[in-house]
Amino acid sequence: MPIPKLKEYQPKQGTAGFRTNGFSLDPALEGAREGITTMLSLAGRSDGQGETRFVKNNSLAEEAYALHCDDAGVLAEAGGETGAVHAAAALAQLALENGGVLPACTAFDEPRFGWRGLSLDICRHFFSIGTVRQIVDLLAFYRFNRLHLHLTDDQGFRFESERFPLLNTVGSHRESTLIRKHGRSEQDGVSHGGYYTKAELRELVAYCKARGIEIVPEIDMPGHALAMIASYPELACYFDEQNPVRVATSFGVSEFSKILLCAGNEKTFDFLFQLLDEVMEVFPFEYIHLGGDEAVKDEWKRCPNCQKVKKEHGLKDERELQGWFLSRVSRYLNSRGKKAIIWNDGLCASLDPGIVCQYWRPFLAAGNRSTAHYANAGERVIGSDFFHMYFDYPYAVTPLKKTFHYEPVLRGVKKSARGNFTGMECAVWTEWIDTEEKLFFNMLPRLAAAAEAGWSKQRRNYHAFVGKLPSHYALYERLGLAYANDVEKPKPFWKQLKTIKTFLTQNTHVELPGGGV
């Protein structure tokens, strides 16, 4: 049985005539050809004598599909191009589990949630576009449909801007990076940087489209904007030419977190609107993420321009000033046919309706700052609970089983409002992930567990899930990807504590093979 589990599956006697080296495709599904080819190739070579056909079935939803597999061949019916890629991924997994042989069967499948994504931070540590494409293939293999690209932060700006070239010559590079290895936290003194060209990103857009995946670009504001402010210091409330702001070389919420984009300066919005125009030219999809998290508002409190705006608009405090800021940018996106997403830190009374909330802190606050309250008011929500879905944490903090059993719908949500939870995203923040080995080790097999949480209804069977993993481990090895192969059972509590302590104080690579567990 594939991961995530098929909604309906009926095994039959015998095996199916299945070929991975050729298939026929309904012209209505032509846009999925590359994605189907890639998914089938992951099954290895299968030279069955039957025909493999992909046809469009207009009675099915876009992501839904049905499989009919017998000795005559394979018929995959799909509601749309995305469903066709999902069908190919399911066929590949069925064959992988059975040594390259496809069992005879019928199946029907569709997702529980319409939004199933991965948020990838390429700011704290930059990874090549080739690495991102590898991740996209894994997302398609596990039937995800969103890649959330965290393109801007305090530690780097990763999007090519022709209108604001200093974002790349200044903002895309930092002088050093804080590391925590061998029992010490220290700056490594090594320059780190990079950004994706628009040509690379347009190619990535096409690559994702062919695999049924939409990209959600994130331009974080008003905080986590130090790379932008280092490039154009006039965007901040205050700047000192004798002591210029620099791209951050350390992580977390710190003194530099107080340096925000100025809410009382029209130049801020002129800059953001022009930058977002560039982003929208590259990414043709519906949603753009505006961040809105961890904005320490000390400078706003003493900035006369920010205080003037707060007074003019009758805003109660700086939190509502941020709501006004994000709403203004959201309205600009709306005027261009786009919709905004923000982290749940930004929820407040002054926020415009219609902005999608992505929660990472599930019980942040009460009242109009509560995510449950927001959903109950009819607004849409994406779940990214950091207790379950943050893959930068060690497995000792977030065991595989914990991710597998994640439920995105929060307590306190009315039954009538549960449909406002549109889906889930897992997240890989890369403060302490500085190599491809560490990146994939932290993602695999967690990505498979997260896929189950986004696709399948509750009452999932973890024991059955673990039983499927060996064929996936074999695939990771064939693809040359690092993965964690001993995390099916949570470690004893004392071992978890030891690993966590080592991670926090001595060695961020503690769980890697040879990393000092």
CATH number, position 435: 3.20.20.80
Distance CA 63, CA 82 (A): 5
* Residues 183 and 324 occupy one common structural domain: yes
* Residues 412 and 457 occupy one common structural domain: yes
- What pLDDT does 139 receive? 99
Q: Supply 333's token pair.
A: 């996106």
pTM of the model: 0.95
499 found inside a domain: yes
Q: What is the pLDDT of residues 430-471, one digit of tens each?
A: 999 999 999 999 999 999 999 999 999 877 899 999 999 999
Q: Report the SS3 class of residue 12.
A: strand
277 found inside a domain: yes
| For residue 46, pLDDT beyond 70 | no
Distance CA 200, CA 493 (A): 45
* Residues 437 and 395 occupy one common structural domain: yes
| For residue 514, pLDDT beyond 90 | no
Dihedral over alpha carbons 90, 94, 99, 102 (to 10 degrees): -110
89 found inside a domain: yes
Gyration radius (Cα) of the chain, Å:
24
513 found inside a domain: no
Residue with tokens 């940018």: 329
Q: How far is CA 217 from CA 51, 119, 121, 146, in A?
A: 39, 10, 11, 10
Residue 62 annotated to the active site: no
Domain of 80? Answer: 8-109
Among the candidates 50, 77, 109, a domain finishes at 109
* Residues 73 and 165 occupy one common structural domain: no
Q: Return all residues near 220 (Cβ < 8 A) that are at least 6 apart.
A: 150, 152, 153, 289, 290, 291, 292, 293
| For residue 517, pLDDT beyond 60 | no
Q: Report the SS3 class of residue 349.
A: coil
Distance CA 214, CA 7 (A): 23
Q: Supply 265's token pair.
A: 């300066």
Q: What is the pLDDT of residues 185-241, one digit of tens each?
A: 889 899 999 999 999 999 999 999 999 999 999 999 999 999 999 999 999 999 887
Longest dimension (CA), the chain: 78
- How many structural domains comprise the chain? 2
* Residues 209 and 158 occupy one common structural domain: yes
* Residues 283 and 399 occupy one common structural domain: yes
Residue 153 annotated to the active site: yes
* Residues 128 and 105 occupy one common structural domain: no
Catalytic residue among 192, 224, 388, 509: 224
Residue 486 annotated to the active site: no
* Residues 334 and 449 occupy one common structural domain: yes
| For residue 428, pLDDT beyond 80 | yes
Beta-carbon count within 10 A of 269 CB: 16
310 found inside a domain: yes
Catalytic residue among 97, 109, 153, 218: 153
Q: How far is CA 122 from CA 35, 155, 165, 246, 506, in A?
A: 24, 10, 19, 18, 24
* Helix ranges (DSSP H) in 214-303: 226-231, 266-282, 298-302
- What pLDDT does 180 receive? 80
* Residues 21 and 155 occupy one common structural domain: no
| For residue 126, pLDDT beyond 80 | yes
Closest by CA to 430, choosing from 125, 180, 166, is 125
Among the candidates 109, 143, 176, a domain finishes at 109
Q: Are residues 248 and 171 in contact, defined by beta-carbon separation less than 8 angstroms?
A: no
Q: Report the SS3 class of residue 491.
A: coil
Catalytic residue among 62, 294, 298, 436: 294
DSSP 510: T
User: What's the average model confidence in pLDDT over 41-46?
Assistant: 80
**What are the backbone angles phi and psi of residue 326, rounded to the nearest 5°?**
-65, -35
Beta-carbon count within 10 A of 358 CB: 31
- What pLDDT does 205 receive? 99
More reliable by pLDDT, 34 or 503:
34
516 found inside a domain: no
Distance CA 31, CA 49 (A): 26
- What pLDDT does 313 receive? 97
Residue 111: how many CA atoms within 13 Å on its side-chain side?
27
pLDDT band at 366 (very low <50, low <70, confident <90, very high): low
* Residues 157 and 16 occupy one common structural domain: no
